[in-house]
Structures are given as structure tokens and as C-alpha cells.
């Protein structure tokens, strides 16, 4: 296994308010691909993955954000941190490596419109 090939956990966030998410693990991820390529790969994989409930397969995911990196600190926020968007949101044209992705990084994959709404009123619905 090359040092550029890593394991990444992607947390599919369906609802911030209801803390509705599913982690999906990807092995052998090439860090030299762009965020746009990885996003397209994950969207396709999720739509075909058995064992995922249909609402997760068909959701309009469009944004990735770093939640946690191995040996780093974790956020207290249960779904995704609302802080440091400038550093943690991934830009499409960047490579995964340039974006700071490393082995065992955990990413959130969500709809930016939902995230913006949640940020204006970050209340969990129980």
C-alpha cells in the first residue's frame, strides 16, 4: 500500500437538527485526487451501497468538511463543528492531500444549504 493511499471515514449527514448521520469507511483512497473527484466517487458509491437506508442514498450532498484527524482533538459538537469553516471546508479544486487529509481523517458530507440553516439556529431536535 502506497503512503498516498489512506483510509477515510465519511459521515453522511442527513439532518443536523436530528443528528441523523451514517459513517461510511473508504479504504485505499488516493490523496492525489481532487476533492471534486473524491466527492463524485463518494456520491456514486453511496447511491449503490447496500445496507444504507434509501434517504441516505438519494440525499443532495454537496460539501465536505474535516471533522477529525487521527491524533488530533475532537469537537464537542455531535454532528459537525460549526467553527473554522475557512480551514476545514474542502474546496473542489484542491487535492485531498493539499486539503490536509491524511490516514484516518474523518469527514462530514452534507448539503451546504442545510448547514447554513443549522448554523443560524443550531438547535437539536429530539
- Coil, helix or strand for 64? strand
Q: How many CB atoms lie within 10 A of CB 36?
A: 13
Q: For residue 31, is it within any domain?
A: yes
Length reported for the chain: 126
Could you tell me the three cell numbers for 84?
473554522
Each residue's pLDDT tens digit, 68-104:
776 565 555 567 878 889 999 999 999 999 999 999 9
- Coil, helix or strand for 119? helix
User: Which pTM value belongs to this model?
Assistant: 0.89
Environment class of 115 (CB within 10 Å of its CB; exposed 0-12, middle 13-18, buried 19+): buried
How would residue 2 be classed by pLDDT, with cut points 50, 70 and 90? very low
Q: For residue 77, is it within any domain?
A: yes
What is the count of structural domains for the chain?
1
Q: Domain range holding 86? A: 5-120
pLDDT the model gives residue 101: 94
Q: For residue 126, is it within any domain?
A: no
Amino acid at each position: 500500500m502506497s503512503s498516498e493511499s489512506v483510509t477515510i471515514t465519511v459521515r453522511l449527514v442527513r439532518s443536523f437538527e436530528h443528528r441523523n448521520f451514517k459513517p461510511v469507511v473508504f479504504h485505499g483512497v488516493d490523496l492525489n485526487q481532487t476533492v471534486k473527484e473524491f466527492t463524485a466517487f463518494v456520491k456514486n458509491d453511496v447511491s449503490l451501497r447496500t445496507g444504507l437506508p434509501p434517504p441516505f442514498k438519494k440525499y443532495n450532498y454537496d460539501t465536505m468538511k474535516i471533522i477529525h484527524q487521527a491524533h488530533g482533538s475532537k469537537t464537542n459538537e455531535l454532528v459537525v463543528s460549526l467553527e473554522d469553516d475557512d480551514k476545514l471546508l474542502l474546496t473542489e479544486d484542491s487535492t485531498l492531500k493539499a486539503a490536509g487529509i491524511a490516514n484516518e481523517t474523518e469527514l462530514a458530507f452534507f448539503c451546504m444549504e442545510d448547514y447554513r440553516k443549522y448554523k443560524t439556529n443550531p438547535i437539536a431536535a429530539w
